[in-house]
Structure 1
Amino acid sequence: METQLALLAFNAAPVAIVLTEQRVIRACNATFARLLGYRAEDLPGQSFRLFYGSDEEFEEIRDVGLTLLRETGSYTDERLVRHRAGHALWCRFRATTLAPEAPLDRLVMSFAPIHEGGPVSLSKRERQVLELMNRRLTSKEIAARLHLSPRTVDDVRGRLIKRFGVRRSADILPMLGGRG
């Protein structure tokens, strides 16, 4: 009886919850699947790569928070994930490892959308720049990390400013629910 209640609570939870092993989905609730445009029964066995725009993005995001997961067992940030329809969702991400010595072996994660507007359609470069802006990196630091010129990063910021109708790039993240 308790197992059935726990399963019911997991499946009906208003928060998007997913359990992964080695970055492969083992279980997720309906809220998680709906958030990303899938059916819950279609996701177990799928790589988490499905929710990122490129292999490069997927590999880079792996190491974000790894130290904190090892040290404290949990990690929180805001990140862009890809919906099945192809647009980006800005989400608050929380992870708890069940294996601190090897944090990615088994993780319980939750995702909550923090952008109230419609779907956000961003290029790979725009996603990269926004992610690094959210980590409070300057244009110069972003350029170095992405092997670009600072001018290219400024051009991307300019396009984002125009698209979101804001005065400066620092106004974009609060609009999407990021740190800003």
Structure 2
Amino acid sequence: MQSADIQIAFDAAPIGLVLSEGRVIRACNEAFATLVGYSKNSLVGQSFRMFYGSDAEFEAIRDIGLTALQTSGTYSDERLVLHKDGHTVWSRFRARSLTPDDPLARLVLSYAAISERSDLVQLTPRERQVLGFMGQGMTSKEIAKTLELSPRTIEDIRARMIKRHGVKRASELVARMMMRGK
């Protein structure tokens, strides 16, 4: 396969693809740019910090999957990514490290929107964090420990989101956020 063919495949892929170095975007395709609402050219050279609601959220997300990247070179989860317009996009995320000794030095990432619609729910930064961890199957106690909050605080956040979205259980809330718009 020719180099030009490889570039065409990267650019035309139906999911968002990113080459990252040190958590900075070095290259991305049009599908990723569309997913997050920016032009492709404006993303190159930008930190992934722009897709998270706070510095704390950006730092916390770094460590999720780091062990898996160190041991197997790959990691995947489902996460909320902040769109340029301020709403969040629930996406399936996959990462492969090209430098296993320093997993974040050079990564190939893919992002696939779980919902086809971009008018997803407005969430506070804390709600985004809690919902993201819920989507990874973490309990309130595990989320509380990760965020250095009390389990009761996490339960309160979960309860407010459950009530606001008219569901009975946390699993229904996560499913609704994933299926929203389908």
After TM superposition, is the score higher than 0.5? yes
Give the conservation status (yes or no) of the 8 Å contact 1:115–1:175: no
The structural deviation recorded for 1:176 is: 2.6
Equivalence for 1:138: 139
Structure 2 CA distance, aligned partners of 1:147 and 1:105?
A: 27
The structural deviation recorded for 1:116 is: 4.8
Match status 1:128 vs 2:134: no
What are the ranges of 5 or more consecutive residues in structure 2 without an aligned counterpart? none
The structural deviation recorded for 1:154 is: 2.1
Structure 2 CA distance, aligned partners of 1:30 and 1:39?
A: 8
Structure 1 CA distance, aligned partners of 2:9 and 2:109?
A: 16
Structure 2 CA distance, aligned partners of 1:144 and 1:76?
A: 21
Equivalence for 1:166: 167
1:96-144 deviation digits (Å, cap 9, x = unpaired): 1111111111000000111355312100111121122223232233333
Equivalence for 1:65: 65
SS in 1 for 2:14: coil
Give the conservation status (yes or no) of the 8 Å contact 2:96–2:107: yes
What is the percentage of aligned positions where both structures have the same residue? 55
Give the conservation status (yes or no) of the 8 Å contact 1:114–1:176: no
Matches within 5 A, 1:26-105: 26-105=26-105
1:1-39 deviation digits (Å, cap 9, x = unpaired): 812121111111111000000000000001100110001
Q: CA distance change for structure 1 residues 166 and 60 in 2, over 3 Å: closer, same or farther?
A: same
Aligned residues: 178
Greater Cα shift, 163-172 or 31-40: 163-172
Structure 1 CA distance, aligned partners of 2:141 and 2:102?
A: 33
TM-score by length of 2: 0.90
SS in 2 for 1:177: helix
SS in 1 for 2:90: strand
What are the ranges of 5 or more consecutive residues in structure 1 without an aligned counterpart? none
Equivalence for 1:5: 5
Structure 2 CA distance, aligned partners of 1:136 and 1:9?
A: 34
Structure 2 CA distance, aligned partners of 1:147 and 1:8?
A: 45
TM-score by length of 1: 0.91
Equivalence for 2:22: 22
Q: Which amino acid aligns with 2:36?
A: L
Q: CA distance change for structure 1 residues 95 and 144 in 2, over 3 Å: closer, same or farther?
A: closer
Q: Which amino acid aligns with 2:166?
A: G
For the aligned residues, what is the CA RMSD? 1.7
Give the conservation status (yes or no) of the 8 Å contact 2:91–2:114: yes
